[in-house]
Structure 1
C-alpha cells in the first residue's frame, strides 16, 4: 500500500525516524467509536482505537482495566473545554496515547489484526495506515493547565444543566418516584456503595476494618459488584445496566436492581432473565452510582459510604453534561449521610469491646506474675504465699471440724 501524499506529509511533520526498524508496540488492534463498548471486547495487550472527544476518567479507567497496550483516538482527548481526567490517567499508567488520528483508520484496520504503533504512526508492515499526535505527560499537563482557564464557562453550563436535570427528575429527587422498594433491610444501617475504578481496590483495602466492625450493607454498581467479590466480600444488592458485571456477581444471590431509562427501557433486564433471575427496575437519567445512592437513602440507610469515586470539582466536570448534574443533585439530596471512602477510612477508629479489654488485662497480669516468679525476690514471695495458704487451709479444716 502506497503512502498517500497528505499522510506522508503528516508523517514527516511528526518526525518519525524510518531508518532503524520499528521500535514501537506490535499488538492486535480493536476499534470502536464508543470507548465503553470497545472495552468489553478488549484483551490484555490490545491496541485500542476510539473516537472520544474529551476522554473522561471513567472511560479511561475502563480501557486501563483491560490492560491495553496503547490507545489511538481519532478525536482530541483534551479539547480545552474543561480539564478532563482520562488522558492524564492513561499517560501516567505508561500507556501510549495518540491523538487526532486519521478517522479513516476505522475502515483501514481489521478487527484483531496485529499492527505496529511506532511513535505517532500505525503500520501494517512498512505501510502507514494512519498517523496522529503522540501525547506525553508534559503535553497532557500543558493541555490540562490551558483547560482550567475555561472552568468558569463550564460552571455556567453546569448550572444550566443542573436546572434542566432538576426539571426532568424533580419527582425522582424529591418524591422518590421511580425508586423501587428492596427486600434487603437498610433502615438505620450503614451502606457501602462500591464503584469500579482505578482506585476501588485501595479503597476497599482501607475500608476492611470499617467493614468488619459495622457490617454495612454492600451494594455493587455494575463492575463494582465484581470488585467486591474479588476483594472477598459478598454484595447484598447489585445495581446497574449489567453490561459490565460478571455472571458470578449476578448469580451469587444478591438482590438485583436494573437501571432503566426514563421511558422505562432496561436492556440489562434481558441478560438477568437469561440467567434465570429477576430484577427490580430503577427509572432515572442519572448514573448507576447515583441510582445506588438514592436507593440506599430511600431504604433508610443512616450512613452511605462510596468506594471507588470522588466528589471533587474536576470529577463532577469530567462526568459530562448530564452526569455531572445528576451526581451533584444526588449528593445534595442525600446530604450529610454520604461519606467518601477515603474520609471514612481516615475517621474510623476501631473500638475495643469489653472482652478485648479483659483479655488485655489478663495477658498483662500473666506477664507480671511470670516476671515476678522468675526473680529471686519473686521466688521468696511465692514461698511465703504458699506457706500462708497452707496455714489458712489448715485453719479452715480445723474450723469445719468443730461443726461435724
Structure 2
C-alpha cells in the first residue's frame, strides 16, 4: 500500500487566529477590499446594522475595533450580528491598532493583537453574554438619547423650514416623475431581498428607479437601469454613473459638493442639490416635490433603532422628511405583502385562445369531432363559393 507523499502546509506555531490586516477608519470603504478570512481593522463607535451586514458579507475572520462597538448610547444591533455570524469581535483597542500596516499578517489571541511577536494592543472580546449586558445598559440610557433627538429635530426644523414646508431649494429635474410611482433604493437593510420580492410590482408599474449612492449599483445588479442617482457619490461605481441616469449631487448647505468633481470628470453634467439632510432624505423630497404619486422605499430606515443607527446628526432629517412625505411613502415590505400581480386583458385573451385550441385539439382526436369538423368545412366551402360567385358573376 503506497503512502501519500503530499505534505500539509505547516500549521502556525503560535496560538490564536492569523490573517491579513485590512485597515480603514471608514467601515464602508473597508468592506470593498475585504476578503474571506482577512482581519478587518476599523474605528467605528456603535457598529450599526448596515455596517455589520456589509462586514458579514465580506467574510473576515476577525473584526478589530479601535472604538467601543457599543458605547451605551442606544442598543445598536451590529455587534450581535457579527458574533452570531461566527466572526471574532475585539473592541476598545485604542488608536494603536489603526497603526498596523495594510497587508501585514496579524495574530489575534483572545483580546491581544500581535504583529509578529510584538503586542500591538489589547481589547475586549465580545461574546453573546457581554453583548446582552451591553444591550441592557444601553436600553437604560435610551430615554436620554430620545431627548437629544427631540432637541436636534427642532434645530433642524428651524434651519430647513423653507425646504421641508414649501420645497424651497428643490431643483428641477428632467426625469418625468409627476403622477408616477417612484422606487427609491438605498443599499441598507435587506435591500437585496426587498428588490427580489418587488420584481412583479416593478414589471407592472414601471416606477421611476432612483438609486441613492450605492443603491444605483443595487438596481443594476438586479437587472434594471436607474433613472436617477442621488447622493454625495462616495459609494456609487463609475459603471452606474455612466449608465445614462440623471445625476443629482448632494451638496452641503454652503454649496460645497465633494462628489461633484468625480461626476464631471466622467463627462456627466449633474444637478446640485444643497441640503442639510441625508442623501436618502433629499431623494424623497425630490420625488415628492416632483409630483410622485407613490414613493416606495427599499433599504431605508423605518424603526427607532434604525434612526438611532444614523447618529443624532442624521436622525432629525430622516424623521421630519418622513413626516413631510408620509402620505405617499410605503416601505418595500408593505408593498410586497399587499401587492398582488394583476392579469392584463392581453393575458386573458391569450389564456382564452389557449383554452379554445385545447378544446379543438381534443375534439379532433375523436370520431364525432372529426365528423363535426368535416360538416363545418363543407359549409365553409359552400359559403366561400357563394362569395366568389358574387364578385365573379
Return the TM-score normalized by structure 1.
0.85
* Structure 2 unaligned regions, length at least 5: 1-11
Q: 1:238 to 1:398 in 2, by over 3 A?
A: closer
2:72 is the alignment partner of 1:80: yes
2:321 is the alignment partner of 1:330: yes
Give the Cα–Cα distance (whole angstroms) in 2 for the partners of residues 112 and 400 of structure 1. 89
2:187 is the alignment partner of 1:199: no
Shift of 1:96: 1.8
Do the aligned residues in 1 keep the contact of 2:189 with 2:300 (CA within 8 Å)? no
Q: Residue 357 of structure 2 aligns with which residue?
A: 366
Shift of 1:139: 3.0
Give the Cα–Cα distance (whole angstroms) in 1 for the partners of residues 86 and 205 of structure 2. 38
Shift of 1:97: 1.3
Among 47, 50, 55, the alignment partner of 1:58 is 50
Shift of 1:62: 4.5
Q: Residue 171 of structure 1 aligns with which residue?
A: 162
Q: Residue 172 of structure 2 aligns with which residue?
A: 181
Q: Which moved more, 1:268-277 or 1:52-61?
A: 52-61
**How many pairs are equivalent?**
381
Do the aligned residues in 2 keep the contact of 1:165 with 1:322 (CA within 8 Å)? no
After superposition, what is the alpha-carbon deviation per residue over 1:196-241, rounded to whole angstroms, capped at 9, x for unaligned?
Answer: 1352211111111111111111111111111111111111111111
Do the aligned residues in 2 keep the contact of 1:30 with 1:111 (CA within 8 Å)? yes
Do the aligned residues in 1 keep the contact of 2:232 with 2:251 (CA within 8 Å)? yes
Among 82, 85, 88, the alignment partner of 1:90 is 82
Do the aligned residues in 2 keep the contact of 1:258 with 1:266 (CA within 8 Å)? yes
* Structure 1 unaligned regions, length at least 5: 1-19
Do the aligned residues in 1 keep the contact of 2:210 with 2:227 (CA within 8 Å)? yes
Shift of 1:191: 0.8
Do the aligned residues in 2 keep the contact of 1:22 with 1:118 (CA within 8 Å)? no
Q: 1:166 to 1:114 in 2, by over 3 A?
A: same
2:41 is the alignment partner of 1:49: yes
Give the Cα–Cα distance (whole angstroms) in 2 for the partners of residues 248 and 379 of structure 1. 64
After superposition, what is the alpha-carbon deviation per residue over 1:339-360, rounded to whole angstroms, capped at 9, x for unaligned?
Answer: 1111112222111111111111
Q: 1:22 to 1:388 in 2, by over 3 A?
A: same
> Where do 1:4-15 residues align within 5 Å?
none
Q: 1:363 to 1:151 in 2, by over 3 A?
A: same
Do the aligned residues in 2 keep the contact of 1:195 with 1:221 (CA within 8 Å)? yes
Q: Which moved more, 1:190-199 or 1:323-332?
A: 190-199
Q: 1:57 to 1:262 in 2, by over 3 A?
A: farther
2:337 is the alignment partner of 1:349: no
Q: 1:71 to 1:392 in 2, by over 3 A?
A: closer
Give the Cα–Cα distance (whole angstroms) in 2 for the partners of residues 273 and 357 of structure 1. 49
Among 343, 368, 371, the alignment partner of 1:383 is 371
Give the Cα–Cα distance (whole angstroms) in 2 for the partners of residues 278 and 397 of structure 1. 69
Give the Cα–Cα distance (whole angstroms) in 2 for the partners of residues 381 and 267 of structure 1. 77
Give the Cα–Cα distance (whole angstroms) in 2 for the partners of residues 296 and 25 of structure 1. 49
2:144 is the alignment partner of 1:153: yes
Q: 1:158 to 1:117 in 2, by over 3 A?
A: same
Q: Which moved more, 1:152-161 or 1:352-361?
A: 152-161
Q: Secondary structure at the match of 2:223?
A: coil
Q: 1:321 to 1:367 in 2, by over 3 A?
A: same
Q: Which moved more, 1:343-352 or 1:139-148?
A: 139-148
Shift of 1:278: 2.1
Q: Which moved more, 1:156-165 or 1:118-127?
A: 118-127
Q: Residue 302 of structure 1 aligns with which residue?
A: 293
Q: Which moved more, 1:131-140 or 1:250-259?
A: 131-140
Q: 1:155 to 1:280 in 2, by over 3 A?
A: same
Give the Cα–Cα distance (whole angstroms) in 2 for the partners of residues 248 and 42 of structure 1. 21
